[in-house]
């Protein structure tokens, strides 16, 4: 059985923890989109790991980890991460394969990301400044450089010349002071080429063969469904398809090969960066929940914006992804609260919406409607089965299942591997 595990809110739902826990049931764990904008936290062997490009299955011996064609790869970031993980005693060896069709993030993509944000002023997205958006722009505009291009130095120069010419035109038009250089870009590629090519392969073909021989694959999403470039809160999104449709495309396999889709959600909502968040807390609750949940970005350290669980959002994510199940994380973060809100709809210009509106201007005027639940005000961190949870917590989960029309199969009650219900 092959599954996709992906975020069903705005990212940081706890995908890393869930993927790590499920990995022993699979032979291959594959990332299918995004880049090192992701930060997937796993607590294992008494340490904290934050995985950015490496699939969260990497901490398990014997698991093959794949970076699919849909991912944008910054080679420096990749090698830095490999070094970090290996320094912590993880053996990677030949377990890592990178699609030779994956596009590269080049140094000028970072410059362009920073400049484009600066030029947006008030309307900035709040990107991770990793060059993700500009690398995907070059991919779609058919001027990107792929891993396989490193094999042919004659063609590589022409590709880099084209990329640099476009980047410099953009930097100049945007009033940026930096300029990209063909020679420097080629030098930086020459420095990583041999090492990267040694990991590169036709990933779609290897995974296809593995599937035929009975291997099971876990496809790991990055970001969240509401950050999907098509289905998210555009333009306040990332530049890839984070949803389950993107999983087949980005790993290079058939959509028919995906048997189930597990959506990861937090017991509340967070978002990092700008854009609408209808259930966002006011102070002092904002600071209180941020502190309880330690809601600071795994990649950028930025404070995450927090709010009540939004069933309209997750109901929508369940639909666009075809979620078969939900894994809910961080239930323990709500343990001390006297009452808990659950958003069941939005009032917009006098009418009630229970389906997520695609038009941002509607969303910006949405007044959330809440059902209120009595807090359980006791610790859930030691619960290992649903019946260990306080009745008030079970009531909250039951109502969420009803509203989003999807069953909650796993409930996580702490950062550690053993703090899970449902395995
Ligand atoms: P990801 O990007 O979806 O993998 O999520 P992040 O790693 O960015 O953020 C999730 C954070 O919540 C991490 O710091 C995790 O260690 C932490 N976490 C995951 N599950 C739980 C849980 O059940 N309870 C608590 N308190 N923390 C959790
Ligand atoms: P994981 O995989 C949360 C957000 C950024 C910004 C927007 C666009 O850890 O859940 P980008 O750099 O991608 O162009 O930024 O997307 N963002 C994330 N938010 N979790 C992530 O990854 C994110 N990756 C990008 O904050 O709002
Ligand atoms: Mg994260």
Binning the chain into helix, strand and coil, the percentages to the nearest 5 are 40, 20, 40
What's the rounded Cα separation, in Å, for the pair 153 and 54?
Answer: 27
> Mean pLDDT, the chain, as a whole number?
97
Question: And the tokens for 301?
Answer: 């350290």
| Entry pTM | 0.98
Torsion of CA 63, 83, 164, 155, to 10 degrees: -60
Residue 298 has pLDDT above 80, yes or no: no
Q: What percent of the chain has pLDDT over 90?
A: 96
Per-residue pLDDT of 65-103, as tens digits, reads 999 999 999 999 999 999 999 999 999 999 999 999 999
Q: How far is CA 72 from CA 22, 68, 170, 200, 305, in A?
A: 25, 9, 20, 14, 26
pLDDT on residue 45: 86
Model confidence at 205, pLDDT cuts 50, 70, 90, reads: very high
Pocket of ligand 2 (CB under 6 A): 7, 11-12, 37-40, 125-128, 130, 132-133, 222-224, 227, 238-239, 272-273, 298
- Per-residue pLDDT band at 234 (split at 50, 70, 90): very high
Using pLDDT thresholds of 50, 70 and 90, give the confidence band for residue 297.
confident
Q: Hey, which residues does 44 pair with through a beta bridge?
A: 47
Helices 153-173/182-199 angle, 10° precision: 130
Task: Answer yes or no: are the C-beta atoms of 53 and 259 closer than 8 Å.
Answer: no
Kindly report, residue by residue over 13-56, the tens digit of the pLDDT.
999 999 999 999 999 999 999 999 999 999 998 999 999 999 99
Measure the CA–CA gap between 80 and 93, rounded to whole angstroms: 15
Counts for the chain of helices (H) and strands (E), in that order:
12, 20
pLDDT score, position 252: 96
Shortest-distance atom of ligand 2 to CA 222: 2
- For 344-380, the pLDDT digits (tens) are 999 999 999 999 999 999 998 999 999 999 999 999 9
Cβ < 6 A, ligand 1 pocket: 7, 11-17, 39-41, 298, 329-330, 332-333, 412-415
Residue 152: half-sphere exposure toward Cβ, Cα within 13 Å? 10
Name residues whose C-beta falls within 8 Å of residue 169's C-beta, 6 or more positions apart in sequence.
none
20 is catalytic: no
Is 40 noted as a catalytic residue in this protein? yes
């Amino acid at each position: 059985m092959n599954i996709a595990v992906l975020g069903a809110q705005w990212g940081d739902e706890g995908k890393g923890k869930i993927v790590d826990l499920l990995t022993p049931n699979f032979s291959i764990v594959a990332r299918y989109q995004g880049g090192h904008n992701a930060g997937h936290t796993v607590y294992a062997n008494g340490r904290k790991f934050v995985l950015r490009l490496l699939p969260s299955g990497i901490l398990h011996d014997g698991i093959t980890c794949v970076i699919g064609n849909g991912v944008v790869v910054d080679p420096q970031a990749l090698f830095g991460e490999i070094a970090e993980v290996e320094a912590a005693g993880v053996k990677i060896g030949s377990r890592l394969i990178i699609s030779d069709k994956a596009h590269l993030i080049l140094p000028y993509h970072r410059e362009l990301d920073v400049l484009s944000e600066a030029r947006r002023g008030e309307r900035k997205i709040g990107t991770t400044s990793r060059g993700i958006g500009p690398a995907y722009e070059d991919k779609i505009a058919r001027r990107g450089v792929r891993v396989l291009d490193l094999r042919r130095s004659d063609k590589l120069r022409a590709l880099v010349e084209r990329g640099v010419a476009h980047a410099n035109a953009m930097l100049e038009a945007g009033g940026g002071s930096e300029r990209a250089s063909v020679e420097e870009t080629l030098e930086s590629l020459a420095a990583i080429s041999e090492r990267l090519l040694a990991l590169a392969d036709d990933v779609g073909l290897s995974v296809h063969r593995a599937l035929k021989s009975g291997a099971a694959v876990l496809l790991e999403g990055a970001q969240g469904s509401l950050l999907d470039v098509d289905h998210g809160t555009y333009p306040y999104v990332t530049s890839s398809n984070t949803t389950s449709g993107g999983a087949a495309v980005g790993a290079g396999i058939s959509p028919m090969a995906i048997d189930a889709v597990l959506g990861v959600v937090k017991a509340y909502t967070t978002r990092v960066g700008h854009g609408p968040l209808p259930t966002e807390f006011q102070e002092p609750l904002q600071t209180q929940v941020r502190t309880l949940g330690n809601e600071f970005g795994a990649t950028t350290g930025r404070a995450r914006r927090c709010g009540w669980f939004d069933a309209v959002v997750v109901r929508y994510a369940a639909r666009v992804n075809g979620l078969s199940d939900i894994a809910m994380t961080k239930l323990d973060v709500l343990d001390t609260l006297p009452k808990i809100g659950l958003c069941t709809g939005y009032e917009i210009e006098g009418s009630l919406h229970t389906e997520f509106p695609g038009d941002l201007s509607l969303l910006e005027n949405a007044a959330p409607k809440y059902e209120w639940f009595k807090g359980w005000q006791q610790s859930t961190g030691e619960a290992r089965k649903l019946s260990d949870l306080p009745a008030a917590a079970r009531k909250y989960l039951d109502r969420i299942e009803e509203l989003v029309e999807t069953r909650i199969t796993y409930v996580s009650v702490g950062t550690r591997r053993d703090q899970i219900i449902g395995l």
